[in-house]
Amino acid sequence: MPIVQVRELVKDYHMGDVTVNVLRGLNLGFDEGDFVALMGPSGSGKSTLMNILGCLDRPTSGQYYLRGQDVSRMSDDALSEVRCTYLGFIFQAYNLLPQYTVVENIELPLVYQGITLDATTTARCVALAEMVGLGERLDHRPLQLSGGQQQRVAIARSLVNDPQLVLADEPTGNLDSRTSDEIMMMLSNLNKTGKTIIMVTHENDIAAWARRVVRLRDGRVESDERNDTKTILTPAG
């Protein structure tokens, strides 16, 4: 069973008398453990799709099954429960809170869920900070970190609930190519531990890290290709 399945997914925005048809009937399934790059021109609906997959927005019509459950019909409360339990988010602009330290930023999703912070949650957040290579920066605030370091905090934060599915909208969009590779190495390693990752990118060399590349155009799937079979077919010596 795919972890994510969308059927005839449609998203329209209404602006006065004008209707913008952003997603025009998408049919896509993503398997558990896959690493998908979502590409396509600016305005093709990538972020719109990510917001729906992340249960931050609802489709106009069509179905979205997450782990076999039709989330398009759930109440707002049930959706926020789904977000906390199964989903992790990474954004292009990191979205850290400037007044909080590295560890406090990683703790934030727990705070939003009303979980009481204690020695166990702190230890977990410190361990995540160490995992992303920020063990020496636990008390730094975002402005005292480089862009790549800030994105690593965001990755650690996305993992605090041990989500099955990580959604990343242009996670390297603000980073230079070397730092981007470090972040992609980290996401790739996460994927190898079993996390399903769906990532938006504009860059082919970033998409090359994924196992599958889906391109959107005009609200539809334009192409859908696997990278990993290409790797296997690479001729030896």
Ligand X SMILES: Nc1ncnc2c1ncn2[C@@H]1O[C@H](COP(=O)(O)OP(=O)(O)OP(=O)(O)O)[C@@H](O)[C@H]1O
What letter represents residue 132's amino acid? V
- CB nearer to Mg ion: give 66 or 216: 216
Interface positions, 14-43, toward ligand X (CB under 6 A): 15, 20, 22, 40, 42-43
The span of 2-10, 12-20, 83-91, 148-156 binding ligand X (CB under 6 A) equals: 12-20
- CB nearer to ligand X: give 15 or 233: 15
Interface positions, 17-76, toward Mg ion (CB under 5 A): 46-47
152 binds, among Mg ion, ligand X, none (CB under 5 to 8 A by kind): none
Nearest CA to 202 among 158, 165, 172?
Answer: 172
Q: In angstroms, give the least distance from the CB of 145 to ligand X.
A: 25
Q: In angstroms, give the least distance from the CB of 200 to Mg ion.
A: 6
- CB nearer to Mg ion: give 126 or 216: 216
DSSP string covering the chain: --SEEEEEEEEEEEETTEEEEEEEEEEEEE-TT-EEEEE--TTSSHHHHHHHHTTSS--SEEEEEETTEEGGG--HHHHHHHHHHHEEEEETT----TTS-HHHHHHHHHHHTTPPP-HHHHHHHHHHHHHTT-TT-TT--GGGS-HHHHHHHHHHHHTTT--SEEEEESTTTTS-HHHHHHHHHHHHHHHHTT-EEEEE-S-HHHHTTSSEEEEEETTEEEEEEESHHHHHHSPP-
- CB nearer to ligand X: give 154 or 159: 154
**Contact flag: residue 117 with ligand X (CB under 6 A):** no
15 binds, among ligand X, Mg ion, none (CB under 5 to 8 A by kind): ligand X
Binding mask 48-67 for ligand X (x = CB under 6 A): x-------------------
List residues binding Mg ion (CB under 5 A).
46-47
List residues binding ligand X (CB under 6 A).
13, 15, 20, 22, 40, 42-48
